[in-house]
Structure 1
């Protein structure tokens, strides 16, 4: 959240990954799509939902690998994020409202059939709403670097600081904080330019409400545990969003599989893409096998 670290190391789309839009009954969503080499999906599709200041581009590094297993993979910008427009209505950006959007997207992507759902960071809290509301039968659910309740630690403090500065404008936040952090970390100029463009494209209302949501989210783990859907908790060993032990405890409460990604922090899809893609593919294959034997 609120950082360059969830940004792809490159922006050029690999072969088999393309820009698209997903049209739903509640509007169009900017997306990236990856298909198997044959162009014909043989397994159930997957929907990838990014974090608060992230975007569909955060999944570029894993999409091709995921599609090679025979799936259609769709990564989206949520309402008000980057290339998906959003209204000025604050009510459109609560976890519940954004979760409704996920339901609509899954209905289109799955064409009435099961869909694998992955939510990264704040996207995990949003996706959790869609699973709990029961409108959609998901093939599986993955919480990637997403905790059971409000975010804590360094990212919590950063979120509070930036919310306080949002009235000064997004450009102020970029120039006074994020740009300097990115440059100091040696982020390539191309990526720095992308980061600025992405941040400036976000709905200010959306950023404000979503930040408030991630800072005040209540624990819904027990409710999620009652939903009969295969669940995976996966996170970087050095996650600085929700501490690893909190996510491990959540996995235990959910009776979910738990995978720690070595060498990764808050964005394993960026920091350890092959490990992350392999873990997701194995989990999805197992979930489909169990689903079909029921």
Structure 2
């Protein structure tokens, strides 16, 4: 489970509802910092969280990206944390449905956006681009690989899905707390003595179990669609930490080559560079977007 540094929006970050043609989504929205040298915003960014995650996973990126001239909007997908979704209808979380939500979010922002998807969010971002690339000016896949997750992570996701089939969310949370081993696909463990456990529990309990079951299945069965994505004429960026148990780094390197994508490896980061090393991650993102706007490869 990804661990944001805080669940409280810092100064300059506004919690709001993003109203779209497919419903409302909880969002954290940060305007670009105004300067005399840069009177206009460089661009708008849409950030999609990963499995068991939320918009708060990007909370440490808003300020440095605002300073770099970018407006950032991080969203909870349907059934994630503060965005509502069915609790017992897995069909609502089919990849095509989630991808169409992303297209609606981009259209609601009213301007072409730089799309960033972390882990599961990267797979959903890819599906959205393959449906319709026109709302986007670039795509960044953050710690998100070409196909299904690693065998070891598939085993962890299966354990979670099996538990959710027979227990409610509170019971599963308690079972996770009783285990010493790390949980599923995003970094961190729940039971490490940090003070954020109440926030993490609140996020967990607010998340739809059907969303977790359905998206967990997606993570374990996703086909390789790299060739399809490579054919889309959109600047692409593959960003990761220097270690990743969900998609091994050599696999991400290979995918970047197949996509002819810009490649960033964030030092001293693992599966969640956005929380492990947010300043370095923000710098790499802004540099990539600046390059694309200047027409550089």
Query: What is the Cα-based RMSD across aligned positions, in Å?
Result: 1.8
Separation in 2, partners of 1:180, 1:7: 18
**Aligned to 1:126, which of 124, 127, 134?**
124
**Superimposed CA distance per residue, residues 14-69 of structure 1 (whole angstroms, 9 cap, x where no aligned partner):** 22112111000110000001112339851220000000100000000111111122
Partner of residue 192, structure 2:
185
Shift of 1:154: 3.1
**Superimposed CA distance per residue, residues 65-124 of structure 1 (whole angstroms, 9 cap, x where no aligned partner):** 111222211000000000000134322212211011100111111x1x321000000000
SS for the counterpart of 2:43 is coil
Gaps of at least 5 residues in structure 2 are 181-188
Separation in 1, partners of 2:40, 2:66: 8
Contact 1:179 1:192 in 2 (8 A): no
Gaps of at least 5 residues in structure 1 are none
Contact 1:269 1:276 in 2 (8 A): yes
Partner of residue 144, structure 2:
146
Separation in 2, partners of 1:144, 1:279: 11
SS for the counterpart of 2:82 is coil
Separation in 2, partners of 1:41, 1:19: 23
Partner of residue 11, structure 1:
7
Within-5 A mapping of 1:91-170: 91-109=91-109, 111=110, 113-134=111-132, 136-167=134-165, 168-170=167-169
Partner of residue 57, structure 2:
58
Contact 1:139 1:230 in 2 (8 A): yes
TM-score computed with the length of structure 1 as normaliser = 0.92
Partner of residue 226, structure 1:
231
Separation in 1, partners of 2:11, 2:123: 31
More deviation in 10-19 or 160-169? 10-19
Partner of residue 271, structure 1:
276
Separation in 2, partners of 1:198, 1:136: 33
Partner of residue 48, structure 1:
47
Partner of residue 255, structure 1:
260
TM-score computed with the length of structure 2 as normaliser = 0.91
Partner of residue 37, structure 1:
33
Separation in 1, partners of 2:279, 2:154: 29
**Superimposed CA distance per residue, residues 199-228 of structure 1 (whole angstroms, 9 cap, x where no aligned partner):** 111111111111111111111000000000
**Superimposed CA distance per residue, residues 165-201 of structure 1 (whole angstroms, 9 cap, x where no aligned partner):** 1021222221111465546433x22x11111111111
Contact 2:6 2:56 in 1 (8 A): no
Partner of residue 24, structure 1:
20
**Aligned to 2:204, which of 199, 205, 213?**
199
Separation in 2, partners of 1:179, 1:104: 40
Higher helix share: 1
